Amino acid sequence: MEHLEVIKIGGKVIDQPGQLEKVLQAFAHIQGPKILIHGGGSKASEMERTLGLKPTMVDGRRITSSDALEVVTMVYAGLINKTIVAKLQSFGCNAIGLSGPDGNSILSSKRPAKPIDFGFVGDVEKVNTSFIDIQLKSGLSPVFSAITHDGNGQLLNTNADTMASVIAGAFSGLYNVRLTLAFEIEGVLDASGNVLTKIDESSFQKLVKNGTIKEGMIPKLTNAFDALKSGVKEVKLTSSDYLSNTTHLYTNVILN
């Protein structure tokens, strides 16, 4: 079975042009089929403040009002996505920028308002693997922003880690999939600040309970384990330096 790399970048990587360029250059040199999913960094929050809106986050996830949805769509699917695609083209990677409505590639449903009303946030229901696979087999590298739709004309903001996990899982029957969640720190850290080289679901739950793993790392790891349950062969969490330095090994591995 052919190998597929699914890589998600986010956090401060998006905010640092020099680091982002290194990561994208490394992604461009990965051989074989590959998909990139990106978040929005702090750019959406900056734009919200510029427009007089107040960004609101709960457990690392954005509360998306109708006004905030317009901002994140412009920033994620517009400025950031097209900047990334243009950079990849300059590095010889024939990338194509996509969001959920494009080719009906990612269908979501609006998250229920209870227990927390996240607003116009979507939970992925279906991945159009046939459409995306056409792009892959044509030699294109899809670059997804974290915007999806409900099939009835409504755009929805979707967590980029969740998108990466679901996309990776959807392709597990077609490819030997490896999912990498790359961000600004070295990996998942223990109470002493040391990188955990391996982690299973049982130890994850214990680390959440004792407060070692908290805030935005909780949904990130939840998505990682969901990917494994969906058939993804391997999930790795690491610093984005992995992608910009070929001698740097993955610093955190989640195994089935």
- pLDDT of 247: 46
- Which residue from 146, 142, 143 is spatially nearest to 123, judged by alpha carbons? 146
**Coil/strand/helix, residue 240:** coil
Residue 243 has pLDDT above 80, yes or no: no
What number is the average pLDDT over the span 82-101? Answer: 98
The whole-model pTM stands at 0.91
SS3 label, residue 90? helix
The 3-class SS string of 129-195 reads HHHHHHHHHCCCEEEEECEEECCCCCEEECCHHHHHHHHHHHCCCCCEEEEEEEECCCCCECCCCCE
Whether the CB-CB separation of 190 and 204 falls below 8 Å is answered with no
Q: Which ranges constitute the DSSP H helices of the chain? A: 12-15, 17-28, 43-50, 66-72, 81-90, 129-137, 160-170, 201-209, 217-229, 241-244
Q: How confident is the model over 134-157, as a mean pLDDT?
A: 98
Has residue 246 got a pLDDT over 80? no
The answer on pLDDT for 139 being more than 50 is yes
- Rounded CA-CA distance 31/33 in Å is 7
Residue 196 DSSP class: P
pLDDT tens track for 164-200? 999 999 999 999 999 999 887 777 777 877 888 888 8
Structural domain that includes position 56: 3-254
Amino acid at 56: T
State how far the Cα of 114 lies from the Cα of 54, in Å rounded to an integer.
22
Order of all β-strands in the sheet with 253-254: 95-98, 141-145, 34-38, 3-9, 176-183, 234-239, 253-254, 198-199
Mean pLDDT of the residues in the chain: 89
Q: Is the pLDDT of residue 255 over 80?
A: no
Q: What CATH number does the domain containing 81 carry?
A: 3.40.1160.10
What is the pLDDT, as a whole number, of residue 60? 66
Among the ranges given (124-138, 185-199, 208-222), the one the predictor scored with the smallest mean pLDDT: 185-199
Domain count, the chain: 1
Scanning the structure block, which residue is given the tokens 């609101």?
A: 56
**171/5 Cα distance (integer angstroms):** 10
User: 30-86 pLDDT, tens per residue?
Assistant: 999 999 999 887 888 888 899 998 888 876 678 899 999 999 999 999 999 999 999
CA nearest 127: which of 253, 238, 232? 232
Identify residue 60 by its one-letter amino acid code.
G
**Strand order, beta sheet including 147-149:** 122-127, 106-110, 147-149, 155-157
Percent above pLDDT 90 for the chain = 58
CA 80 – CA 89 distance, rounded (Å): 14
Q: What is the DSSP letter of 114?
A: S
The predicted pLDDT at position 57 comes to 81
